[in-house]
Amino acid sequence: MSRRPYVAANWKMNKTASEADEFLDSFLPSQSADGPEVVLCPPWLALERVAGRCAGTPVRVAAQNMFYEDSGAFTGEVSAPMLLDIGVDGAVLGHSERRQFFGESDESLALKVPKAIEAGLEPILCVGESRAERESNDTEAVLSHQVLTDLAEVHSDDLGKVVIAYEPVWAIGTGLVATPEQAQEACEFIRNLLRTRDSERAGQVRILYGGSVKPDNAGELMALPDIDGALVGGAALDPADFGAIVAASSAG
């Protein structure tokens, strides 16, 4: 099944609104509707600015998190209606840094993912194992728990609306990269998990690799049969580097 390549830039806690403008000045003119699907994920205070500037362009915008209630006494949280109101298209959910530093749980994600779909936002669900878990040969057990728990309340008809990012935690910001064999093996395992839910829609789900993706390794990774793109961190902060990764996805 043909799946359109998908490349997302996770800026994390980087770039002020004015710095985001500088990035867009350089990056947006090079983007074409004929290329891969490109998504920028700015921090909260740049989100509305980036969404406004990307409106009418081929580039889409996602938040770095989202709460599962529409409103209420949830200090510091942002809801799906708030994101939709400023033109946001999706939300990164369950990034390993959210899990590690802010206590994000699979039980919480089991509420967030279907809420995003219900609201019309595209969830980019992040899953992946730590170095200790890989060294203990627990990668498949970890991925099984995360994927099946986080998607438990997603109707099978909606599986194709989810983007999944496999991000081995030991490769994020470390300079380490999963070998092509390791990356393909994990992403194929994730797709096979989805097939236990719905074999047809499992083929529609785009699975990304995330973890020290750079211009010089992006093409090889994204040419693999079960890797449909990348969730890019550090290299996404530079418009030339991120543009090169987008181009590598097109070539793949």
Known catalytic residues are 95, 167
**Is the CB of residue 79 less than 8 Å from the CB of residue 70?**
yes
**Exposed, middle or buried, 108 (CB in 10 Å: 0-12/13-18/19+)?**
middle
Using DSSP, state whether 181 is helix, strand or coil: helix
User: H or E segment at 91?
Assistant: strand 90-93
Q: Is the dihedral of CA 179, 38, 46, 73 positive or negative?
A: negative
CB count in 10 Å sphere of residue 179: 10
DSSP state of 225: T
**DSSP H/E element including 60:** strand 59-63
Burial of 11 by CB count in 10 Å (0-12 exposed, 13-18 middle, 19+ buried)?
A: buried
Would you state the structure tokens that stand for residue 170, as one six-digit string?
């030991």
